[in-house]
Amino acid sequence: MPNLETIKSRLLEIVKARSVFYGDFVLASGARSSHYFDCRLTSLNPEGAWLVGNVLFEMIRAEEKSRGLRIEAVGGLTMGADPISLAIGISSHISTPNQPIEVFVVRKAPKDHGQTKLIEGPSVQGRTVAVIDDVITRGDSTLKAVDAIEAAGGKVVLAAVLVDREEGGRAKIEARGIPVISVFRKSDVLRPGG
């Protein structure tokens, strides 16, 4: 398997080619922007999913080692987190089949039938988890997932994202005592003057 820097370099090429758009956009936060990151176009691409899963899995394992903890599960607010979380879980299974990272999904609202769950997949109660997101802007989506996980009894010890838009979200999440790691920052991804 190629080394982490080679994988990360190829992932950056794919993000730039597939997931960066220039124009006039309204973001989920309500703010206007001259650029938009649609990271699902990377994370739902077979090569992109493989790359993002490997990179974030390795970054999470490095954080575990440096912080002396074990992350048992990953997940975040649907839909941006879903393919990234699953890619991390698959990478963990390939790398450490006896100790994989499980995957969960946080719904935007509880199901109105069946078990009326807000979190799908394995229970997060009593577990140490990383919250996943595709893009952090102001951090509101990530923190909505954190709130749901904590309400369900999970302990969020890390936030891991593909792109940090560098617009205050990282600081907002870290103010809650949750370290943030990102594969890329906006400045890595945008064309010069973008």
pLDDT at position 27 is 81
In a domain, 36, yes or no: no
pLDDT at position 192 is 74
Q: Do residues 92 and 125 touch, judged by C-beta distance below 8 A?
A: no
In a domain, 134, yes or no: yes
In a domain, 15, yes or no: no
Domain harbouring 121, CATH code: 3.40.50.2020
In a domain, 153, yes or no: yes
Cβ neighbour number for residue 121 with a 10 Å cutoff? 16
| Residues of the chain under the 70 pLDDT cut | 1, 111-116, 193-194
In a domain, 33, yes or no: no
Integer CA distances (angstroms), 89 to 39, 97, 122, 160, in order: 18, 10, 12, 13
Q: Which residues, 6+ apart, have CB-to-CB distance to 164 below 8 Å?
A: 135, 136, 170, 180, 182, 184, 185, 186
Number of domains within the chain? 1
User: In terms of residue numbers, what domain contains 123?
Assistant: 49-185
pLDDT at position 1 is 67
In a domain, 32, yes or no: no
Q: Do residues 137 and 27 touch, judged by C-beta distance below 8 A?
A: yes
In a domain, 28, yes or no: no
pLDDT at position 111 is 65
pLDDT at position 28 is 76
Percent of the chain with pLDDT over 70: 95
pLDDT at position 30 is 81
In a domain, 192, yes or no: no
* Residue 90, helix vs strand vs coil: helix
pLDDT at position 29 is 74
d(CA 129, CA 144): 15
